[in-house]
Amino acid sequence: MAEQFSFFETKEPKKTQKEIDIERLTFLKKELKRHNKLYHTLDNPEISDQEYDVLFKELVALENQYPELITKDSPTQKIGGEVLSFLATQKHRLRMYGLDNVFSLEEYEAFLQKGKNYFIKENPYKELSTITLDTWWADPKLDGLAAEIIYENGELVMALTRGDGEEGEVITSAVRTIRNVPQHLGENLPFTRLEVRGEVLMLKKDFEKLNEKQKKLNQKTFANPRNAAAGSLRQLDTRITAERKLIFLAYGVGQVIIPQAEDEIGLSLWKTQEALMQGLSKLGFAISKESELCKNSQQALNFCEKMETIRDTLPYELDGVVYKVNNRLVQQVLAFTARSPRFAIAWKFSSRKAETILKAITIQVGRTGVLTPVAELEPVSIGGVMVSRATLHNEEELKALDVRVGDTVLVQRAGDVIPDILSVNLEKRPDNSVPYEFPTFCPVCQSKAVKLKDEAAWRCVNIDCPAQKLQGIIHFVSKAGLDIIGVGEKWVEKLVEIGRVKNIADLFTVTVKELLVFEGMGEVSANKFVDSLNEAKHTATLNRFISALGIRLVGEQTAKTLAQAFENIDDLANASVDKLITLQDIGPEVASSIKNYFLSSERQEVITRLKEYGLNPQRQEVVAQKETALTGKTILFTGTLSKPRQEFEKQAEEAGAKLLSAVSKNLNYLVVGEKAGSKLEKAQKLGVQTLTEQEFLDLLK
Ligand code: IVH
C-alpha cells in the first residue's frame, strides 16, 4: 500500500537541532504569553503554577543557549500581567519586580550562593561584610494581588496594581474602600512621599461567603480567593469593591522621599527589612503575623515547612514563602536582574493540583437525598496526599465542565475540603467519549429523583431510601454531629449493611462481642466504639445533638439558635411553627422542616429510645453572644483613648474577646491610644497586630 502514496510524498529536509530549538523557543514564548494573560489579566488560569514554571524554565534554558534570540517581548524579560484596557494606567516610579522561585533547599542554597558571588564582586561598601548576607527576613507568600499605595504628605493620593511591572492600573477609589488601608498617616512625618507595597487579599471565609452569594444571585463564582480579590479590585464600580471584604497586607516599600536623603528607599529610616515592617505597622498598615528572621538556610527550611504545615489554619491563602535579605543596604547592593531581585526569592510550596484520568462518574446519595456526582479518579498524589475521588458538585457544574469518563482532568486539593476538578484537558480527550447523562432516578433505591424549584440538586425523596438512612447515621457520629471519634464510618456501613443498625438508636445497643465478628476489628477498637458512644451520652450538648439529628436545613448555626431557645429535645419537638419563626434566622421553610421532622412516628420512637439510653441533653445557660471579628481573640488596650479604658474593655469582652494584661506572643490585638509606650514597642517586636481606636470600633461592627 505504501507505494500507492509514494507519489505524493514530499521529502521534508531533516531539521537541524538549532531549527528544532528555535521552533520550540517560539512556541514557548507564545504559550507562556497566553498563560500570562489567562493568569494575570483574565484571572482564569488553565495550568498550575508548577506547570507554568516548567515551561518558563525551559524557555530560560533555551535563551541561555541562544542569547541572540532573546527579544524584548519575551516572557522572560517581562513580569507578566498585561494591563486591562478600561482602567487608567500610570507608570510606577520604581519598577515593581516579580520574584524568582525555588522549590527545594538545594535550589535555595544555589540562589544564596549566586547572591554571595555577586556581592563579593560588586559590593562598594568596605564596612559591609558577607556576614550581612546570613540574615533573611521570611514572610508568607500571600496569594492575592500586588498593589502600590502612594501617600503624599501623609495623605493617600493614588493606588496602582502591579500591571506589567512598569505601569499599573489606577485603582485608587477601589483601594480607598479597603477597610484596613489608612487614608492618612498622621502629622510630622519624616517623608514627603511614601509608596507602600503589599498584597490585596480576600480572606478564605469571605471568599466562601462571596461565592455562596454569587451562586444565590446566579452570578459567576470565583475559582479561588485570588481571583475573587482580583475581580473585586479591578472594578470600575467601586460600590462592588466596597461590598467585597478585601484586606491589604504590606510587605515593602517603593519610592520613599525624605528631604535631603541620598537614597529614595528610606534607608535612613529603616535599615533592615525587620525595621521597615515594624515601621509600616506603626504607621497603621497591617502586616502578616507569621514573619520571622532566619539566620541560616536550615532555619529558612524550617520556616517554609512550618508555614506549609499551618497553611490550612491561616485565614488567608498562601502559595509559598518569601525570603529577603534583612539588611536593606545589602538589598541595594544586590539589586535586580532583568526580571527579579537578587536579594529576594520565593520558595513555593509543592503544587496542590495534578492531572489524572477520570475513570468513572458515580452518584452519591446524601442524608437529605441530594444526588452528588463524584469523580472516581486514577489515584494521584497531590501535595503528598493520594487523591482518588473528587466532587463534581451537581448536574450544572458537571455540564459546565463537560467532563466525560476517560477525560484527563486537573484536580485541586485545598485543605480539608473534598478535592474538586478545575478543568478538562481537551487535547487528551479520547475520540469516542460521550457527554455524561445525569440520572433521573436514585441509584440506590431506584425511585424517581426530583429537582426542586430554585435548587441545583436532584434529590431522592423516598424517606425510606437506605442510602439516606446510612448517611444520616454517619452524620450523627460525624464532626458536624456528635463527633464520636471512636465510631468509624466504615463500621457504621458494615452494621447497616448486615441490618444490625437501622437507625441512630440502634447504634447504642451494639456490643463489643458483635463488633468483634467483623474482619479487621480488634478488641481495642471495639471497646472504643462502645465506650465512646456511652461517653457521648454524658458529654453531648443540646446544640450538637440537634445538629446531629440531621434535620433538613438545620445546620450547626441553626442548631445553636434552637439549643438556646428550648430546654431539651422534647421542648423543641413540641414547638409550634409560629414559635419557631420568631427565632433569629429561622424562616417558614426551616420551621416547617423542623416540624415535619418530629411528626414522623418512626423518629419519635427513635428519640424516645435515645432518652431511655441516657442521651437527653438539656439547655446550657449561656449568655447569648453573636459571633464577631473579636470572638475568641485576645486583646489589650494601651495609651490614652478617647473614653475611659474600662469602657473599651467592656465592649471587647461583650464581643467575645479575652483581655490580656501584658503583651505576649499570645496577644492578637493591641489597641493603641495616644502616647503609647513600652507595650507598643514590645508588640511591634513580637509582630503583634496593632489597631487604632477607630480600627477597633470598625472590628466591632
Ligand atoms: S516581595 C522585590 N513579599 O509575589 C520584591 N512579594 O512574584 C517583590 N508576594 O508580585 C515582592 N507575598 O504580589 C513580596 N511577602 C511577600 C509577598 C510577595 C506575596 C507576591 C507579590 C509579587 C509576587 C512576586
Per-residue pLDDT at 85: 41
Does ligand 1 lie within 6 Å of residue 341's CB atom? yes
Please list, residue by residue across 633-649, b when 16 or more beta carbons sit within 10 angstroms of its beta carbon and e when fewer do.
bbbbbbbebeeeeeebb
Does ligand 1 lie within 6 Å of residue 340's CB atom? no
Which residues, other chains included, contact 108 with Cβ-Cβ below 8 Å and sequence gap of 6+?
Answer: 102, 297, 300, 301, 323, 345, 347
What confidence tens digit (pLDDT) does each residue in 132-188 have? 999 999 999 999 999 999 999 999 999 999 988 999 999 998 899 998 999 999 889
Sheet with 318-325: strands ordered across = 101-102, 344-348, 318-325, 136-142, 292-294
Q: Is the pLDDT of residue 378 over 50?
A: yes
Percent of the chain residues topping a pLDDT of 90: 58
Q: Whose CA is nearest to atom 12 of ligand 1?
A: 141
* Grid coordinates belonging to 489: 464510618
Q: Is the pLDDT of residue 125 over 90?
A: yes
Query: CB–CB of 330/128 below 8 Å?
Result: yes
With residues binned 3-state (H G I as helix, E B as strand, rest as coil), the percentages for the chain, rounded to 5, are 40, 20, 40
Does ligand 1 lie within 6 Å of residue 139's CB atom? yes
Find residue 346's DSSP bridge partners: 101, 322
Q: Whose CA is nearest to atom 17 of ligand 1?
A: 141
For residue 273, how far is its CA from the centre of ligand 1 (angstroms)?
14
Does ligand 1 lie within 6 Å of residue 635's CB atom? no
* For ligand 1, mutation pick of 274, 322, 330, 347 (most atoms within 8 Å of CB): 322
Please, what is the angle between helix 466-477 and helix 489-497, to 10°? 150
Q: Which atom of ligand 1 is nearest to the CA of 336?
A: 2
Q: How far, in whole angstroms, is CA 206 from its chain's centroid?
A: 10
Decide which of 370 and 642 is more confident. Answer: 370
What confidence tens digit (pLDDT) does each residue in 46-76 have? 777 777 778 888 888 888 788 788 787 777 7
Decide which of 662 and 622 is more confident. Answer: 662
What confidence tens digit (pLDDT) does each residue in 557-616 have? 789 889 999 999 999 999 999 999 998 778 898 999 999 999 999 999 999 999 999 999
Q: Which atom of ligand 1 is nearest to the CA of 145?
A: 13
For residue 129, how far is its CA from the centre of ligand 1 (angstroms)?
27
Q: Is the pLDDT of residue 695 over 50?
A: yes
What confidence tens digit (pLDDT) does each residue in 199-220 have? 999 999 999 999 888 888 777 7
What is the longest distance spanned by two Cα atoms in the chain?
99
Does ligand 1 lie within 6 Å of residue 344's CB atom? yes
**DSSP assignments along 515-571, one per residue:** HHTSTT--HHHHHHHHHHHHHHHHH--HHHHHHHHT-TT--HHHHHHHHHH-SSHHH
Which residues, other chains included, contact 456 with Cβ-Cβ below 8 Å and sequence gap of 6+?
Answer: 393, 394, 395, 396, 397
Does ligand 1 lie within 6 Å of residue 354's CB atom? no
Does ligand 1 lie within 6 Å of residue 670's CB atom? no
Q: Which active-site residues does the annotation give?
A: 141
- Gap between the Cα atoms of 295 and 594, Å rounded: 59
Q: Whose CA is nearest to atom 18 of ligand 1?
A: 141
Residue 134, SS3?
A: coil
Does ligand 1 lie within 6 Å of residue 79's CB atom? no
Q: Whose CA is nearest to atom 22 of ligand 1?
A: 98
Decide which of 263 and 88 is more confident. Answer: 263
Residue 690, SS3?
A: strand
For residue 463, how far is its CA from the centre of ligand 1 (angstroms)?
54
Q: What is the mean pLDDT of the chain?
A: 88
Query: CB–CB of 24/69 below 8 Å?
Result: no
Per-residue pLDDT at 415: 57
Residue 513, SS3?
A: helix
For residue 331, how far is its CA from the centre of ligand 1 (angstroms)?
15
Distances, alpha carbon 123 to alpha carbons 261, 263, 284, 354, 437, in Å:
21, 17, 34, 43, 67
Per-residue pLDDT at 11: 44
Work out the pLDDT band at 6, boundaries 50, 70, 90. very low
* Grid coordinates belonging to 177: 474602600
What confidence tens digit (pLDDT) does each residue in 24-39 have? 999 998 998 888 777 7
Does ligand 1 lie within 6 Å of residue 146's CB atom? yes
Q: Is the pLDDT of residue 396 over 70?
A: yes
Per-residue pLDDT at 8: 36
For residue 98, how far is its CA from the centre of ligand 1 (angstroms)?
7
Does ligand 1 lie within 6 Å of residue 230's CB atom? no
Does ligand 1 lie within 6 Å of residue 199's CB atom? yes
* For ligand 1, mutation pick of 97, 101, 251, 265 (most atoms within 8 Å of CB): 251
Per-residue pLDDT at 340: 92
Residue 106, phi-psi category: left (phi > 0), alpha (psi -120 to 50), beta (remainder): alpha
Q: Is the pLDDT of residue 7 over 60?
A: no
What confidence tens digit (pLDDT) does each residue in 295-310 have? 998 999 999 999 988 9
For residue 572, how far is its CA from the centre of ligand 1 (angstroms)?
53
Work out the pLDDT band at 10, boundaries 50, 70, 90. very low
Work out the pLDDT band at 315, boundaries 50, 70, 90. very high
DSSP, res 182:
-
For residue 695, how far is its CA from the centre of ligand 1 (angstroms)?
26
Per-residue pLDDT at 4: 33
What confidence tens digit (pLDDT) does each residue in 280-299 have? 999 999 999 999 999 998 99
For residue 509, how far is its CA from the centre of ligand 1 (angstroms)?
58
